[in-house]
Chains A and B, each alone.
Chain A
């Protein structure tokens, strides 16, 4: 336990001030200091040597000290030019070679099952004039092929000669065995119907004939007519007429006109 005297008073007070003496010894020394007026004044002076907290306005503008790094991305103009060329070439090829759109085909909803009469249209048989093997053997091969070709040509009606059939629903006067209804097609000009030749001889072609209606393997849905669409370059520059006219508003007093049926391009320089 330390004791205060005039020789060690500064050292003890410094240690008390710096917190080097703690606990019971600290309390003992402080009580001894306060007991003596001279030591008490010295202790007050020592306490005042601790610097007071500075004012808040002792500060500076710290915003200028902060850093904000900017990332610079190197830009190589050679790559940019190469990219532009590739893109331009690709775009040109795309615009020039753009194919027209495929016709839009939509599925027709499947018909519900019904009890209505079923249209029965039997497929006609294409018969050559030489029905039997015996007749066929007698005819030369050239004539045989020619006859087949002639028959085929007659079978397929041209699109310009589409016959408008009048289809009427007729019930057979004689009831069928399987109780089915048959649609019979009437034609105003039975001569043009190629199926007529394939009909049996005992059937009267002037009354009623049975025909088949077939298409060239087109889908059974609704077919939107295909519209030929021209490319942009064709529309802009197809069949152009180039003129050079005077124009005082341009620098060269000339203007270039490129026009076709759809567009007119005027360029003044």
Chain B
């Protein structure tokens, strides 16, 4: 990977990577540090990483750094308050907040695989490479995570 290709990877993947980490940790500074560490690792290993596999390499490395950070600090992750988007009619704003709250009920790995699936559009195989799981495990974690979210949403709906 050349310097130009590295900078192109920064342009293409940096924000997505930050979003993924930030929504897992809910702490901006920690997320920025992890993203910076990840890209620094990419720069140091640029001779080994092919440009076409940069995105997978970045998310895998960032995920591992995030796990290490969580284990080191032993702090519970709080879900961020997502910014309300104008013009998004698929989900009502209150439902979005409920979903964000429901994400707190998920385990770390459930939240990670669902975010990789929904935000980045990875398939089970790619998520498995990033998280170190096989495809069946990824599918089970995604299923259980969505089931937890669904149950939470149904309960809230009943209360409302």
Q: Which residues of A contact B (CB under 8 A)?
A: 10-11, 14, 17-18, 41-42, 45-46, 48-60, 62, 64-69
Q: Which residues of B contact A (CB under 8 A)?
A: 3, 6-7, 10-11, 14-15, 18-19, 22-23, 28, 31-32, 35-36, 39, 43, 80, 82-85, 88, 90-91, 95-96, 99, 103, 114-115, 118-119, 142-143, 145-147, 149-150, 153-154, 157
State how many angstroms separate the Cβ of B31 from the closest Cβ of chain A: 8
Q: Are A54 and B157 in contact (CB under 8 A)?
A: no
Alpha-carbon separation in the docked complex, A137 to B119 (Å)? 128
Knowing A60-B32, A67-B3, say if A51 contacts B90 (CB, 8 Å): no
User: Could you count the A-B residue pairs with CB atoms below 8 Å apart for me: how many are there?
Assistant: 96
State how many angstroms separate the Cβ of B114 from the closest Cβ of chain A: 7
State how many angstroms separate the Cβ of A22 from the closest Cβ of chain B: 15
State how many angstroms separate the Cβ of A147 from the closest Cβ of chain B: 95
Q: Are A53 and B14 in contact (CB under 8 A)?
A: no
Knowing A58-B18, A59-B19, A67-B43, say if A10 contacts B157 (CB, 8 Å): no
Q: Are B88 and A64 in contact (CB under 8 A)?
A: no
Alpha-carbon separation in the docked complex, A49 to B99 (Å)? 7
Q: Are B15 and A62 in contact (CB under 8 A)?
A: yes
Q: Are A57 and B150 in contact (CB under 8 A)?
A: no
Alpha-carbon separation in the docked complex, A68 to B95 (Å)? 45
Knowing A17-B146, A42-B150, say if A64 contacts B95 (CB, 8 Å): no
